[in-house]
Every structure is written in C-alpha cells, then in structure tokens.
Structure 1
Amino acid sequence: MRMLVAGPATDAPALRRIVEVQAEDLVRLRRELVSARHRLKAMGEGGAAPEPIADSADRVSDDQVLALLRAAQIDIEAVTRRSRWLRLGRQLGVARQTEWEQADWRSPYAEDTASSDAALPAGLLRAELSRLKQLQRELSRSRWRRLGHVLRLSKPLSWDLATPQRATPRAPVHPAAGSSTATEMDHVEGQFLTAEFVEQCKAFAVDVVLDVGANSGQFAGALRASGWHGQIVSFEPLSDAHAQLRKAAAGDALWDVAERCALGATKGDARINIAANSWSSSLLPMAALHHEVAPQSVYSGTESCTVLMLDDVIGGTYSDPTTLFALKIDVQGYEKQVLEGLRKYGPQVRVLLCELSLAELYDGAAQISEMTAYLAGRGFRCLALAPALEDPRTGRLLQADGLFVSR
C-alpha cells in the first residue's frame, strides 16, 4: 500500500486525489487476494489430501455412499484401463500416466465383497469417496481427454460434464436431416471453453469482461452459468438484437449494455449487413462459400451503425490504469479490425476468446494463421481451440473458437 496523502477539507482536487489513491490501492489489494485465492484453490485440487464430505441436508446412508464409491471406481477404471484414446495419447507421449495410477489406488471398500455393515471408523467411507472423486477431477482436467471429446473419439463421462459447460455464443442452426447447410457444431465439442475462459479470468483477477458481438446475450448468459459474477459490458450493432440484449441484461446489475455500436480500427459510421439468421451479420461482404454452405444466413438488408474503437471505450469509461479486462470477440470476420482499435489499453487485456476462420467465409477476413501470428505479436499465447462451424457436406471445419491469454 502506498502512503496516503492528506489535504485540507476545502481543497476539492486534493480530496479527490485521496479518494483515487485509496480506491486504486483497494482495487490492487482485491486483485491480489482474488489471485491468491485462485492459486490456493488450484493447489488444493492438485494436492493428495482428500476433501472430507460433510453431512449435508440431503444426508445419505453408508449403503448409498458405498454404491457411489463402487461407481466411481468403475468409472476411473474405464478411463485408466480401457480407454483406447488415453492409451493412444500415452503411446504418442502427450498424455502422461499419473503417479497414483502406478500404485494401488483402488479402495478396499469398493469391492463387491465389502460391506457397509462392517465396523468402520466414522466417516471413512465418505473420505474414500472424496479421494476417488479427487482422482476423477484429476482425470477430467486432462487436455488430451478433452481433445478426444471434441473429436468425438472419447466418450465424456458424467463427471467430465459436471463442471460448468460452454454454451454457444451464437444461436445454433438446426438444418433438416440431409440438408447441405452449415451447422453450428454440437457443443459437446469445445464445451469447456467458456468454463476455461471464466477460470482464466479468475486466475488473472480480471475486473471486466468485454462482450463484443453480443447478439442477444447468449455468451453473457453462459458466463453467468459458468460462475462469472463480475462485470460484463456487451456491444451489439444490430437494432433488433440490441433490443433483445437490453431485455436479457435488465435484471443483472453487473451486466451493462453499451449504446448500439460496432467496434473497429477507426471511428466513424458504417452499414452492417444483416443476415437472415442475425448472428451471421457482418460489416464485411459474405463470401461465396458461406452462401453455398449456409443459404439460410444470406444477407437480407443493411443497417447503419456507429463504429467505435476499444481504446476510446476503455479510456472514456475506466480511469483506473490497474483495471484488467477479458475480451470476447465474435464479429464474423471483423476480429482483427476490432483488435486494431485496441492499442493503448491492449496490455490491460489478459484473456481473449476470439472466433477464427479456417476458410474464407467473409471477403477480406483474416484467416486463422494470420490471426494467431498477429495475436502472438501482441503478446498472447493460445491456450485452447474448439470447433465452432462445419460444412456438413464434407465435415470440413470452417470456424473455430480460440482461447488466448497474455504471456
């Protein structure tokens, strides 16, 4: 903490400076506490000590605990012994075998011959169940297994899906069977991205999430479902979607909706192309491939909108230079232009979720190789990728979501 300043009661600028200094110190202290709490939580999850299971309002009998214990052991064995995907990962050297797998980790109380009627120390069954649940959590954090879930080569178990899941940031498309329209991929793929985004926000002690290309608020809703309780600021240029967005945020005091606008590399006015499905709307012309694979998303008109720069938005709203941001961009090919408008305050953005194109869906849009190189030059490293849009005619991946964090 810095030394506090003092001033006469009649000196308004001095008093304002005192408040600013104290506020900045409180924000800094809060950030350090949040970051420390997150690190302690991560250390606790990685430790060997089991978490005790306290008796809850919905108390369960020892027989029920024993049944859960046996089920947990069966599930762990299904992964460690019978998962072909995990075995392939270990042969390739990208999925390490944990130390506990090489030891006798099985519970003697999970055997069919074991009985809960035996005289056991109080809470022993619950402690054993907690230990096996800890092993499940360790297996569920395997990025190799997550990749298998994304590629549909490894079946996620119920405890893999017990953590907050990623909801689609755009309304999904459900074409008729056999149709040749592009589809939003089933969000078993990449469903961990929103939860991981929230975890990274907590790890970096982010203060504000900027939701650029919010449509009617799907992503912000997914953030809340994934445990983000901090401030969200949403931006949307379409008038109809913006009206829906305001309604969605009306009951959330920490979810702000900016005046209707687009974000770009320079300030000005523009006309945005309105897609029939709304979420495919863009400031860029739609490419021929997009027309072919998703005729239901063709443009049906245009609408004028103001274009602002993120630097101006941040600079005009947040005076505290210690404020940290996370940024989600879903603007249909206009992602690089949005980032070009973020220069002065770029170092304050620590977490980024960005849509990436693997094919030319919008004329002039930066492709995934260009975007990843650009973001690397801006000091970001890629933490995770998840499929987002595919061509059902060929299975070709057209768009992916990328999670990036500052180095």
Structure 2
Amino acid sequence: METIYRRLLRAIPRLGVRVTDLGPGTAVVSRRGTPARIPLQPGADLLARGADRYSVARAGKGVWVVLDKKARNAPEPSGKWTDVPLGDTGAHLLMTENAGANERRFQLAAGAYLCAQHVAGMLAAYGVNCVFDVGANAGQYAKRLRRFGYTGRIVSFEPTADAFARLERAAQDDPEWRVHHFALGREETSRSIHTGWNSMNSLLPPSDYGRGRYKRFAKTQTEEIEIRRLDGVIEQSLEGIASPRPYLKMDTQGYDLEVFAGTGERIADFVGLQSEVAALRLYEGSPEMGEAIAAYEAGGFGITGMYPVTREESTGRVVEFDCVMMRADAAPAKS
C-alpha cells in the first residue's frame, strides 16, 4: 500500500514545485532550479544547485528537505554548518560544528574519499578499461568504482566461501563485473587461509604487532583455497576488449607482493596498480613498505598517491597506506 508520504510527494508537483526523491523517507522540494544529489556516506547527502551554491537541510530559499527520521540512523543535523573552500578548485567542504572533533576518524574518512576520487581520475586519464580487483572480499572496492563513474570491466578475485557468496550477489546484475572464486599468488597451488577476521582474512599468520592491535586475531579458523597465477588468467579476463588498458588493485592482507610476482612478464601490460602497503606489519612474513614499493617501481610504476588506511589511535602512526601507482610511459599523449 502506498504511504501517505509517497502520495504527498506525488501530489506536490501539481503545486508548481520540483521534487527530488532521495530514497525512503527523504526528498528535496524546490521551487526553482534543478537540485543535484551527491551521496557522501550513509545518512549524509550534499545538495548542489548552480556553480557555487550548496544547500543542506534548510539552507536555501525555496528549498526544503523532507526527512522521515525513521529512515536515517544519524541524528538530525543541528543546522550549524561551516563552509570550507578547498583551495581554488570551486569545491567546498560542508562540516557540522563537531565533524572534526575526532581528528583520526575525520582524516581517515577524508583519505578514503580522496583515494577513491584519485583512482577514478587516474582510470579516466589513462583510459583504463579493465580493473583486476584482487582480494575483493564482498565487492566493496568494485561498488565504489561504480559510484565514482567507472563503467569498464571489473574482474574480481575472492577465495573465501562466505565473502565470495556476497561478492557473487553484488555482481549479479552488472554484466561488466566478473567474479572468480580463487586467490592469486606466485605459484599455482592450494593453501589454507586464516578466516573469521572479517575483511582481514589472510594467507599469513598475524605478527606480534598484529595480535596486539586486533583482538580478532586471537581466534582463527582455516579454509583450504585454490591459488592461481595472474598471468594465467589475464587472456580470459581481457577477452573481448579490443585495446586492453588494465589496472591492478591488490588488497590481500600482506600477500600483495606475491600477487604481483604472479603477473610475470605480463605486468608490462598494466598501466597502473594499487596496493595496500604496511608501515607497521600486521602479518608475519609480509614485506616492509619500502620493499613492496621498490618492487613496484622496478616494474615501471611511479607513485601518484599515498592515502592512510588505518592509524594508531594513541600515537597517530599510520599502520597501512593505499599506494596508487601509474606507468608514466602509458600516460596518454598531450594534444
């Protein structure tokens, strides 16, 4: 049965105003202009109209946000916002008075957004048409690529059964998103992987530092998985793409350098890569950050961005970075 709220939204346009439906219980009603919705995170949306005019909640003349409180987990904003211009880019950061109170959380959230935005820019600039998503978990990375506008092929690899089931469901309605139920590494083999660590399942045991940082490492289960080399699945993955421009994303909890080794000579085909490199090692036997970056640089890649993934709350030290690297000789020629 249609709710009163939905009937109201359907009737409002007859009054000469515009309705932008944002989802269950949330809509924007505007007298003029075309408001655009820019999703920021669950419970937060940026509403933009015109070149430099931004409005959130009751911020603009003739603009209202109709909000059903049951539809949002976050409390209703206080209405006190700070507009922070981001240099001369024309972009603005809208913050509530307490948004930056937790410096660590704010920095990591900003870093995650900037990393995703940077990757999307690099994929577009380098004409990437196939992303190899290694260590896909439930498909979070691929879904983020889609939200940031990437429309090319995605090939995801996830070896654990539970995560792969969620990954398969996430990709089922996307014809350009392919999924494989195995891991990638230096050699073709079978091995046991530590599971039960949520998104941190690893082929490597935790280090002393890792056990001290994460309680989840105290208990573990194992699962037998298949490992294959990337150079053995590249041709199948690129099938049907006339002029392949692949990009390699790795997030394998300490195993990225093994995945990289499994590309063999085919690494020259990749125009860029992304790897989670550890400043403080969480897994026994994982490479130090300098070792990993040196291997990637030897493969012809140069750093374009480094973004903190996790930080120690007490010291502020970065534990892991997302490192984005591109092959300079693959950059499109300037016109």
**TM-score range normalised by the length of the shorter chain:** 0.5 to 0.7
Q: Report the Cα offset of residue 340 of structure 1.
A: 0.1
Q: How does 1:250-289 map to 2 (within 5 A)?
A: 250-258=172-180, 260-274=181-195, 276-289=196-209
Q: How does 1:289-300 map to 2 (within 5 A)?
A: 289-300=209-220
Q: Report the Cα offset of residue 294 of structure 1.
A: 1.1
Query: What percent identity do the matched residue pairs reach?
Result: 27
Residues 70 and 389 of structure 1, relative CA distance in 2, 3 Å threshold:
closer
Q: How many residues align?
A: 247
Q: Distance in 1 between matches of 2:113 and 2:235?
A: 33
Matched, 1:220 2:169: no
Residues 300 and 138 of structure 1, relative CA distance in 2, 3 Å threshold:
same
CA contact (8 A) 1:280 1:297 kept: no
Pairing partner for 2:33 from 56, 59, 68:
59
2:161 aligned partner:
239
SS at match of 1:188: helix
2:114 aligned partner:
192
Pairing partner for 2:93 from 137, 147, 157:
157
1:166 aligned partner:
none
Q: Report the Cα offset of residue 344 of structure 1.
A: 2.5
Matched, 1:139 2:106: no
Residues 68 and 58 of structure 1, relative CA distance in 2, 3 Å threshold:
closer
Matched, 1:202 2:124: yes
Deviations 1:75-126, CA, capped at 9 Å, x for gaps: xxxxxxxxxxxxxxxxxxxxxxxxxxxxxxxxxxxxxxxxxxxxxxxxxxxx
Q: Distance in 1 between matches of 2:153 and 2:130?
A: 5
Deviations 1:142-171, CA, capped at 9 Å, x for gaps: 9xxxxxxxxxxxxx6249xxxxxxxxxxxx
Residues 191 and 307 of structure 1, relative CA distance in 2, 3 Å threshold:
same
SS at match of 2:110: coil
- When the two structures are superposed, what TM-score results if normalisation uses the length of structure 2? 0.67
SS at match of 1:285: coil
Q: Distance in 1 between matches of 2:216 and 2:130?
A: 35
Pairing partner for 1:324 from 245, 256, 261:
245
Cα RMSD, aligned residues only: 3.0
Pairing partner for 2:277 from 336, 343, 356:
356
CA contact (8 A) 1:183 1:392 kept: no
Residues 297 and 221 of structure 1, relative CA distance in 2, 3 Å threshold:
farther
Q: Report the Cα offset of residue 191 of structure 1.
A: 1.5
Q: Report the Cα offset of residue 189 of structure 1.
A: 2.2
Structure (1 or 2) with the greater strand fraction: 2
CA contact (8 A) 2:155 2:237 kept: no
Q: Which 5+ residue runs of structure 1 have no aligned equivalent?
A: 1-56, 61-66, 73-135, 143-155, 160-176
Question: Aligned letter for 1:230?
Answer: G
Q: Report the Cα offset of residue 403 of structure 1.
A: 0.6
Q: Report the Cα offset of residue 323 of structure 1.
A: 1.4
Q: Report the Cα offset of residue 327 of structure 1.
A: 1.1
Matched, 1:385 2:334: no
Structure (1 or 2) with the greater helix fraction: 1
Q: Which 5+ residue runs of structure 2 have no aligned equivalent?
A: 1-30, 35-48, 55-84, 96-101, 329-335
